[in-house]
Chains A and B, each alone.
Chain A
Amino acid sequence: MNKLYIFLKYFFIVVWTVFVVAPFLWALTTSFKDFQSVNGGVTYIPWVDFEPNLEGWKVLVKSPAKGGVDIIEPYFNSMFVTCTASLISIILGTLSAYALSRYTFKAGFVKNNDITFFFISQRIMPPIVLSIPFFLFLSSINLLDSLTGLIVVYIVLLMPIAVWIMVDFFNKVPREIDETALIDGCNPYQAFLKVVLPNSIPGLIVAGMFCIIFGWIDFFFAFILTFTEVQLLPVKIVALNSSVTPWWSLSASALVSVAPLIIVAFIVERYLSKGNLSGAIK
């Protein structure tokens, strides 16, 4: 029984690992292939099945004049926009979430839960609905085709995620902890910063991760709100496509665009297992 259990456990782990890792390996090998190796039947192993070359990768850094797409600048643009918007979203979102979790708001029939839902409803709305208002809004304040404009839009998109996750998280942090901090001489801001926040790190990390992911992968708004001055990575990758699908450079660009997320996931995973709230209230 026990042995069977162990066998099944490892069997499923192996199957799952293959399921997760295989596409990456496939993309990795494909990125080193040329036209012949991709279209002339299935090939797997470099140097045996096909002769690897760096063409697919070179396209990504070559300037358009030389037939490349040069994703370096868009890459850093994407990083800058995503990180800045995520950071601001987390700061604003955490503050609003704390207020929504701890204080009672009332304006007519609008109460705390309605406000929280208002935030979430921003994500429920199909993005296409927002595209024209955003376009007009950014053009009226002269921020179309600029990093600042994109950051503003991304904050609107990412902050609801932060609010949503953090409200739920703060609701689980016992109120008595805040109260004890107040009694111990903290004003409400200090109680938040010195006591509530350090105990909310797992929540912050989860919220941060979601913000980064959703910011990083956005194509739609980056496509609509930018033209020539500023380009983000997802938009640039699309420009790779031509009459002959360049699988090699698409694979290479897929790998470079997913790399930051993998790194983030590894860092986050370490923190997530650490923090827990047991011991606050037994």
Chain B
Amino acid sequence: MDLVANNLSYKLDNQYHLNKVSFNFKEGNLYTILGRTLSGKTTLLKTIAGLLTPDSGEIEFDGKNFLKVPVWERNVAMVYQQFINYPHLNVFENIAFPLKQRKIDQNVINEKVMDALKSVGLVGYEKRKIQELSGGQQQRVSLARSLVKNAKILLLDEPLVNLDYKLREQLREEFKNLFSKGLADETILIYSTTDPRETMELNGEVIVLDEGKVLQVGPAKEIFENPNSLKVAEISNDPPMNIIEAKISDNNIKFEGINLEAPQHLSKLTEDGLKIGLRSSDIELNETGHEFEVELAEISGSETLLHLKRGDTKIIVSIEEVLNFKIHDKVKINFKIDRAYAFHVDGKLASSPFGGLNG
């Protein structure tokens, strides 16, 4: 049972939230929608759920026109980024709610709810009120409620974004396990996120969305290795990929007085206005390297993000340890230039180290 969408468009206040979005989701697969905030992720999920009607376009599910099916008959489940539960019901009643709605036998309900509680690790919390749970627990309840239905389409709208760092890591891990074993073969799982790391970890098919438009579709690895445009490269990397305006001539990449020997996959590109893309993790501190000035140093978790500047070129370097730098410190860095990407003036990928295009 495939979920097929054709040219979905949705406009609000003269701004496209969806702009001719098409996709073909196959049962038993995990799809990640990657995009920044306001890129249209929630709109897309709500459209699939039936909470929004697109201005134009079609959605077909199981060969039927899905847009004609009201929300309550669609058999979808959705987890919101806010932790949405029914405040007047306790944990058990919350999870049992969709089953009760289907008038299922009470014994079956009890069994299924207990299973769901087990899978999200909330056994013993049945009688608790929602208000008495922490944010992470509340989100588990809504996850359990969406799992218990055996919905054909499971939508998760940035389910981890409102949780603190530790819980996020933990739940992300649990999600992975749940998704790999717990779901029925006929479920289509759609997960939206702003975090490229989540995308890579979940390792499904990725749809990169920006301003309501689908920029690229492909397996997570493919998006990571061969982003088809500057925009995708920015969205699919955190911190965003460094973009350096450079000139390639005589087999050399030149910018800000730095000369780097062009790797083979870049050597044939000679056009003007070429942009070189390099991940922050592909730049390293090195005493023999090129001098840059520190603009800002931020420590996030166990890594340090250095914002560096040389002339007009600004780059971000991530280092896998906690280091202390002051503003205006001089540091020396080396570029792993063989891992550099090149983009045309219009932003399209020109060449990638993983063999995209000119390779």
Known contacts A186-B101, A199-B87; A176 and B82 CB within 8 A of each other? yes
B124 at the interface (CB under 8 A from A): no
Interface status of B294 (Cβ within 8 A of chain A): no
* Residue B88, interface by CB 8 Å: yes
Contacting residues, chain B, for A279 (C-beta < 8 A):
85, 87, 129-131, 133, 138
Per-position 1/0 for B119-146, Cβ under 8 A of A: 0000000000111010100100010010
- The count of A-to-B residue pairs whose CB atoms sit within 8 angstroms is 81
Within 8 A of A (CB), among B22-80: 46, 49-51, 70-74, 76-78, 80
Which residue of chain B has its CB nearest to the CB of A187?
B72
Instruction: Specify which chain B residues have a CB less than 8 angstroms from the CB of A174 in the assembled complex.
Output: 82, 84
B255 lies within 8 A of chain A by Cβ: no
Q: Which range holds the interface residue count of chain A?
A: 20 to 34
Contact with B along A173-186 (1 / 0, CB 8 A): 01011011111111
Residue A129, interface by CB 8 Å = no
- Measured CA separation A278–B129 after assembly (Å): 11
B38 → A minimal CB distance (Å)? 18
Does chain B have a CB within 8 A of A195? yes
A281 contacts the other chain (CB 8 A): yes
Q: What is the distance, in angstroms, from A181's C-beta to the closest C-beta of chain B?
A: 8
A104: min CB distance to chain B, Å: 12
List of A residues within 8 angstroms of B78 by Cβ: 179-180, 183
Residues of B within 8 A of A21 (CB): none
CA distance A281 to B80 in the complex (A): 10
Contact of A278 among B50, B73, B82, B131 (CB under 8 A): B131
For residue A277, CB closer than 8 A to chain B, the reply is yes
Question: Does A198 lie at the interface of the complex (its beta carbon under 8 Å from any beta carbon of B)?
Answer: yes
Q: Is B279 an interface residue (CB 8 A)?
A: no
Taken together as a complex, chains A and B put the C-alpha atoms of A172 and B149 apart, in Å, by: 28
Which single member of B70, B74, B80, B131 contacts A180 (CB below 8 Å)? Answer: B80
CB neighbours (8 Å) of B356 from chain A are none
**Cβ-defined contact, A176 with B80, below 8 A:** yes
A174–B97 CA distance with the chains assembled, in angstroms: 18
Is the beta-carbon distance between A282 and B83 smaller than 8 angstroms? yes
7 chain-A/chain-B pairs, Cβ below 8 angstroms: A179-B78, A180-B85, A182-B51, A183-B49, A186-B72, A190-B72, A282-B83
Kindly list the 7 A-B residue pairs having the minimum CB-CB distance in the complex, ordered from nearest: A279-B131, A185-B101, A184-B98, A279-B130, A182-B71, A198-B88, A279-B87
Which residues of A does B touch, CB under 8 Å? 174, 176-177, 179-187, 190, 195, 198-199, 276-282
Additional A-B contact list (7), CB under 8 Å, known A184-B101, A279-B133: A174-B82, A176-B80, A179-B46, A182-B71, A195-B86, A279-B130, A279-B138
